[in-house]
Amino acid sequence: MCQCCAEKKDIYLPQLATVADISQMNVTEKYLRLAMDDGQFDFLPGQFVEISVAGIGEAPITISSSPTLGDSFELVVRKIGRVSGAIHNLKRGDKVGIRGPLGKGVYPVEEAKGKNLVFICGGIGMVPQRSFINYVLDNRGDYGDVAILQGTKSYDLRLFTSEIDAWSKRGDVQMLETLDEGDPRWKGNVGVVTKLVAKIETDLKSAMILVCGPPIMYKFVLMALAEHDVPHGNIFLNLERKMKCGVGKCGHCQINHAYVCMSGPVFRYSDLASLPEAI
């Protein structure tokens, strides 16, 4: 949905959606595919929704699927509290409430056309990045080189393994994956995701870099990119972890004068110069 249409909706009123598919991804993450009961759901990569379970509450979750998926969209929910626990207990056919799509700071879908792209993902940071990754792959001719870096703490916490395997077999994608901890079942790279930066074949200074992961990762990724003289204007950071209400009312995501849920969740790094507390 375009932003002007989203603004015409009642931002406080959830719309019903049906759980079309649900499955356990690992010990903490649950995958959901949702279909809106009133039809098509249009959004941009980087936008999020507030998903609610009646009588329990709601939580902000960034959409993981590409807008090209069609009449449904996908979320991945980590079990960390009461609301997420209730979402994990849902079954196919159950109803949930959806507010959104929300967020004005989205991935640079149009600006990135014709340019080389590097996605740097840490752990569950793959979830929101996957929306733009699959959008790019579904419109492959519109974009330049694509490199995807994924770092995960351990083998059992890996996400979208079959998808990552498919990406690694494509001739038009450089897929690099690493685990923080070695494992007998793992034959690939071992170490933090920043160790993969030196292996990127694309010229980093001219590429657009998309970053999402745990807070501590940002500091070291930005240091690694600085070593390659990547302009701050070419780096985009997803700060979704700080959101709560989604509409700038609760103040949970306020950083100085900015609200992550309103101005983000995706920010150009150069725009964060006045918000050092953001990362």
User: Residue 219 belongs to a domain with what CATH number?
Assistant: 3.40.50.80
143 and 249 assigned to the same domain: yes
Domain carrying residue 197: 117-278
CA distance 222 to 270: 12
What tens-digit pLDDT sequence spans the chain (279 residues)?
Answer: 444 444 456 878 999 999 999 999 999 999 999 999 998 789 999 999 999 999 999 999 999 999 998 889 999 999 999 999 999 999 999 999 999 999 999 999 999 999 999 999 999 999 999 999 999 999 999 999 999 999 999 999 999 999 999 999 999 999 999 999 999 999 999 999 999 999 999 999 999 999 999 989 999 999 999 999 999 999 999 987 668 788 787 887 777 777 787 888 999 999 987 776 666
pTM summary value: 0.93
CA distance 197 to 179: 14
Let me know if residue 233 belongs to a domain: yes
Closest by Cα among 149, 150, 146, 132 to 202:
146
Q: What is the per-residue pLDDT for 49?
A: 96
92 and 135 assigned to the same domain: no
The angle formed by the CA atoms of residues 8, 14 and 16, to the nearest 5 degrees, is 115
78 and 167 assigned to the same domain: no
Handedness of CA 175, 196, 28, 184 (dihedral sign): positive
Let me know if residue 107 belongs to a domain: no
178 and 254 assigned to the same domain: yes
Tell me the CA distances in angstroms from 54 to 9, 16, 95, one per residue in order: 20, 11, 9
Cβ(156)–Cβ(149) under 8 Å? no
Q: How many domains does the chain have?
A: 2
Let me know if residue 110 belongs to a domain: no
Let me know if residue 249 belongs to a domain: yes
46 and 170 assigned to the same domain: no
Q: What is the per-residue pLDDT for 5?
A: 47
Residue ending a domain, choose from 78, 102, 126 = 102
What would the 3-class secondary structure string for the chain be? CCHHHHHHCCCCCCEEEEEEEEEECCCCEEEEEEEECCCCCCCCCCCEEEEEECCCEEEEEECCCCHHHCCCEEEEEECCCHHHHHHHCCCCCCEEEEEEEECCECCCCCCCCCCCEEEEEEHHHHHHHHHHHHHHHHCHHHCCCEEEEEEECCHHHCCCHHHHHHHHCCCCCEEEEEECCCCCCCCCEECCHHHHHHHCCCCHHHCEEEEECCHHHHHHHHHHHHHCCCCHHHEEEECHHHCCCCCCCCCCCEECCEEHHHHCEEEEHHHHCCCHHHC
Let me know if residue 139 belongs to a domain: yes
80 and 141 assigned to the same domain: no
